[in-house]
């Protein structure tokens, strides 16, 4: 009915059920009016605006099929793809552009797209394009195209307010409705509708058993939010179903990957928001599940219209929760359905199995013998040069795989220090040596080697330990012969480490003391090291005299206690006194506005005295009064 009017060049408003071929109704008329492409014609003559990216791809594919003999150049323009391929195609020349409003306006703003020669303009899903979300962009597009044009609006649902708004942009349009008199937006009669009142925590179990019904083919599950889509898809995936999600938070490559896998049969369950509820035409969709109740009657009609297309039959199941019952009653009344009071249904209800032909004893997990689909991973993700921030699917799984594949850390290089300074002959230690050092740090409270002189000094040591004595190294407690003997013993135990002399003792002591954070102990350690070097120089000049001279102060000093001594109790530190502020302190002092010439204001008592004096003086002026007379 609409094709003859569209071929004549009239403005048109077309309304028909989903799956009746509205795309070819305006596509054939547009391609026929444009004609064959010409070399000197690069600006587009036809423009089709759609609300979603998936619908833009589908409409462009249908137009390419219809223009097979004409050879018309059709370009698909939408967001999520790189700009460069689209800009190059526009420079080469196109005849028809199919796109979304956002990317069309971006290309016009960048001066890559010129719409001044458009003669045929189509709004697909016009009720969605003329609502408050897309209306500002559509008004800008109307200003960019010529006034002398053919405008066509097509949709399955066309409310009265949208029709009234569309007359503002159309020139004497003809409204064609391929519907019965029962009302607009009537659902497809080939779709069997089931409406159940279910509990929220039982929805996943019901869907899992519904997907095992006899004769079930491809199934679409519609959710209200993106988060609900991810939750449902993850739950069904863990139960063994080949499932994928489609919503706005996924990248364009992932969305197209899921739709291709669904069309090719690699997956049989597609969980989506309303972004896939309009215009998506996929064969062999036998079941549609409204996991969340639709918000209005138009959304319900478009959702269940994904099945029962082109003369086929299908089943549409709608879940209604208790709090959504009032909203569903309004939808039921506007569409004239017979489900005002949905039946209360659970995953174990007998009518649930009988109405959907589900075998008895079916559980919520798909048996391994029935898992024949290859899954979403078998479909390749196309590199589209996506713009914006990349989005990931299954973030938890990807993070776990990334942690497993993370390369090991490179070992840190460490050098031994002596007295806080880098030793000249110290080798570079790797992470393995660090483990050994950590073990030695657990016993750094005791010296590495205990000499006989130290044991004798411990016996005569008083039960008191000071900071000064704790900071002195154990190497200062004995003579040089004890040091050499200790070094030789340790060389034998270490397996032949030689030619290091007396300095072999120092790294062990300095490493244990360098860990103390106190600055006082660090200064004491430096003083001890300097005195030790001075004694060694004196020992080389005269061994006999220096030995006697060095031993005298050692006998007077208290040697460092070893592990045999009892540690002193911790010294109690007096807490600092907190002096509260004085309650009589002046917090604020008003400025003194008085000057030296100002008189001091009298007090109230002074004023009363002056008043009494004035009263008495007034009575004595006439020689009378109450004053006492003298003499």
Q: What is the 3-state secondary structure (H, E, C) of 153-218?
A: EEECCCCHHHHHHHCCCCCCCEEEEECCCCCCCCCCCCEEEEEEECCHHHHHHHHHHHCCCCCCCE
User: Taking the mean position of all CA atoms in its chain, how far away is CA 500?
Assistant: 59
Min mean pLDDT across 105-114, 238-247, 290-299, 519-528 is at: 519-528
pLDDT tens figures, 348-382: 999 999 999 999 989 999 999 999 999 998 888 87
At residue 393, the pLDDT reads: 53
At residue 409, the pLDDT reads: 63
pLDDT tens figures, 274-300: 888 887 888 889 999 999 999 999 899
Query: Is 161 within 8 Å of 283 (Cβ atoms)?
Result: no
pLDDT tens figures, 240-263: 999 999 998 888 889 889 999 999
Query: Is 133 within 8 Å of 125 (Cβ atoms)?
Result: no
Min mean pLDDT across 50-54, 128-132, 431-435, 617-621 is at: 431-435
Q: How far is CA 213 from CA 207, 216, 361, 372, 374, in A?
A: 10, 6, 12, 16, 20
DSSP code for 369:
G
Instruction: Tell me which of 358 and 532 has the higher pLDDT.
Output: 358
At residue 604, the pLDDT reads: 83
**Among candidates 375, 360, 358, which has minimal Cα distance to 287?**
358
276: its two tokens: 């896939």
Instruction: Tell me which of 330 and 559 has the higher pLDDT.
Output: 330
415: its two tokens: 């050098």
At residue 286, the pLDDT reads: 93
At residue 163, the pLDDT reads: 82
At residue 214, the pLDDT reads: 93
Q: How far is CA 45 from CA 50, 70, 367, 510, 520, in A?
A: 17, 15, 55, 87, 88
DSSP code for 370:
G
Please name the residues in contact with 258: beta carbons below 8 A apart, sequence gap of 6 or more.
Answer: 244, 245, 246, 250, 267, 270, 376, 379
Task: Read off the pLDDT band of 322 (50, 70, 90).
Answer: very high
Answer whether residue 183 shows pLDDT above 50: no
Min mean pLDDT across 67-76, 141-150, 285-294, 375-384 is at: 375-384
Round to whole Å and give the CA distance between 219 and 242: 11
Q: Which of 104-108, 173-177, 555-559 has the highest mean pLDDT?
A: 104-108
Answer whether residue 336 shows pLDDT above 50: yes
Answer whether residue 175 shows pLDDT above 50: yes
Please name the residues in contact with 205: beta carbons below 8 A apart, sequence gap of 6 or more.
Answer: 347, 364
CATH fold match for the domains 2-178 and 191-379: yes
At residue 457, the pLDDT reads: 63
CATH class (in words) of the domain with range 2-178:
alpha beta
Q: Would you list the domain boundaries of the chain?
A: 2-178, 191-379, 415-556
CATH of 191-379, one of 3.90.1280.20, 3.40.50.300, 3.30.300.250, 3.20.20.70: 3.40.50.300
Q: Tokens 């478009």 — which residue? A: 302
């Amino acid at each position: 009915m609409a094709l003859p009017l569209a071929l004549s060049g009239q403005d048109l408003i077309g309304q028909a059920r989903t799956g009746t071929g509205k795309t070819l109704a305006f596509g054939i008329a547009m391609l026929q009016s444009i004609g064959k492409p010409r070399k000197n014609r690069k600006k587009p003559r036809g423009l089709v605006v759609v609300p979603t990216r998936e619908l833009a791809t589908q409409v462009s594919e249908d137009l390419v099929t219809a223009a097979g003999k004409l050879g018309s150049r059709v370009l698909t323009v939408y967001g999520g793809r790189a700009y460069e391929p689209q800009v190059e195609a526009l420079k080469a020349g196109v005849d028809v552009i199919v796109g979304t409003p956002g990317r069309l306006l971006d290309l016009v703003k960048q001066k890559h797209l010129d719409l001044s020669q458009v003669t045929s303009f189509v709004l697909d899903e016009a009720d969605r394009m003329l609502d408050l979300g897309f209306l500002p962009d559509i008004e800008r597009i109307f200003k960019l195209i010529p006034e002398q044009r053919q405008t066509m609006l097509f949709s399955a649902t066309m409310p009265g307010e949208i029709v009234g708004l569309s007359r503002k942009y159309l020139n004497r349009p003809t409204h064609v409705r391929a519907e019965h008199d029962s009302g607009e937006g009537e659902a497809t009669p080939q779709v069997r509708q089931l409406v159940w009142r279910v509990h929220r925590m039982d929805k996943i179990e019901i869907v899992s058993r519904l997907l095992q019904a006899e004769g079930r083919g491809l199934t679409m599950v519609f959710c209200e939010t993106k988060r609900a889509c991810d939750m449902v898809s993850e739950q069904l995936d863990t139960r063994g179903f080949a499932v994928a999600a489609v919503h706005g938070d996924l990248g364009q490559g992932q969305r197209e990957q899921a739709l291709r896998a669904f069309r090719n049969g690699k997956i049989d369950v597609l969980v989506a928001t309303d972004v896939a509820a309009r215009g998506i035409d996929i064969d062999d969709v036998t079941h549609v599940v409204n996991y969340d109740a639709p918000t209005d009657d138009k959304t319900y009609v478009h959702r269940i219209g994904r099945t029962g297309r082109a003369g086929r039959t299908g089943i549409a199941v709608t879940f209604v929760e208790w709090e959504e019952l009032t909203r569903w009653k309004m939808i039921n009344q506007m569409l004239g359905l017979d489900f005002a009071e949905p039946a209360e249904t659970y995953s174990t209800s007998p009518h649930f199995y009988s109405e959907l032909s589900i075998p008895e004893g079916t559980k919520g997990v798909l048996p391994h013998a029935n898992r024949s689909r290859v899954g979403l991973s078998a479909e390749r993700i196309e590199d589209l040069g996506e713009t914006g921030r990349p989005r990931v699917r299954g973030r938890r799984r990807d993070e776990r795989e990334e942690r497993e594949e993370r390369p090991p850390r490179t070992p840190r290089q460490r050098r031994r220090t002596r007295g806080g300074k880098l030793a000249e002959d110290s080798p570079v230690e790797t992470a393995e040596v660090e483990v050994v050092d950590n073990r030695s740090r657990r016993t750094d409270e005791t010296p590495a080697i205990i000499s006989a002189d130290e044991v004798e000094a411990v016996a005569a040591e008083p039960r008191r330990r000071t900071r000064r004595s704790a900071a002195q190294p154990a190497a200062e407690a004995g003579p040089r012969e004890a040091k050499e003997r200790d070094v030789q013993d340790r060389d034998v135990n270490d397996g032949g480490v030689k030619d290091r002399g007396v300095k072999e003792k120092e790294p062990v002591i300095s490493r244990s003391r360098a860990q103390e954070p106190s600055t006082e102990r660090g200064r004491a350690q430096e003083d001890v090291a300097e005195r030790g070097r001075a004694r060694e120089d004196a020992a080389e000049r005269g061994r006999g005299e220096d030995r006697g001279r060095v031993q005298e102060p050692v006998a007077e000093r208290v040697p460092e206690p070893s592990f045999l001594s009892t540690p002193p109790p911790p010294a109690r530190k007096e807490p600092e006194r907190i002096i509260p502020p004085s309650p009589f302190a002046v917090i604020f002092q008003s400025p003194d506005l008085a000057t030296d010439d100002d008189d001091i204001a009298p007090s109230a008592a002074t004023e009363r005295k002056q008043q009494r004096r004035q009263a008495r003086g007034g009575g004595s002026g006439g020689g009378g009064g109450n004053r006492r007379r003298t003499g």
